[in-house]
Amino acid sequence: MNYRANLFALKTLGVEWIISLSAVGSMRVDIRPGDLVVVDQYIDRTHGRPSTFFGDGIVAHVSFGDPVSPVLADILHQAATERVAAGGGGERVHRGGTYVCINGPQFSTRAESHMYRKLGVDVIGMTALPEAKLAREGEMSYATLALSTDYDCWHESEEEVSVEAVVATMKKNARLAREVVALAVERIPERHECIATNALRGAIMTDPAHIPAEIRGRLEPIVGRHLK
């Protein structure tokens, strides 16, 4: 998947808020398959995925200590809580948590799974990064609604994670996720005021006079307003 091209396209179209849906494995007993988690932190264990728009003549360092938009996360949590309460399906909504993102496509080894649990990870998936990093560089607010499908392979009393089990739970929760997003979208504020809104302000380290014209033109949708 070309994460960078996708996020650049969204920025070019004027997108300001991004809700990501991610099937994840649970690293905690109380996050059961079928539960929803509005995460607030990520650990990046990916490699080989371009994770920045910068380089080649322009350097920028954005703040990423709090990678999730608190505004969007609150909206997602409220929408998910209301939808789950109305549905009565037994799912639970968890606010906050750390998402470790791995390359895949293989699932973790048992040793890796236990290691992540010792690190305090709450869920594990393969898609949130570098999306979240690129969204921040593009000054787009980003939040993830994680859909728990299994217990990864750390839970000894559960069967080892399989594609069949993951797909079955994903299908069960697909409608729920769509309905949560529909509720959330209605509540997104018209004015984009969030931690991502001015993420590039003061973050571009290269003297504008030394940025090649070709690079400036290529990144115009992202850096244009900061280089005037």
Q: How many CB atoms lie within 10 A of CB 10?
A: 18
Distance CA 113, CA 73 (A): 26
Token pair listed for 79: 């929408």
Token pair listed for 115: 């290691």
Identify the helix (H) or strand (E) that includes residue 19. strand 17-26
Angle at 226 between CA 223 and CA 227, to 5 degrees: 85
Q: Annotated active-site positions, please?
A: 150, 152
The per-residue DSSP string of 156-182 comes to TTSPPP-HHHHHHHHHHHHHHHHHHHH
Angle at 154 between CA 42 and CA 80, to 5 degrees: 50
Q: Among 5, 44, 7, 53, which Cα is nearest to 203's?
A: 53
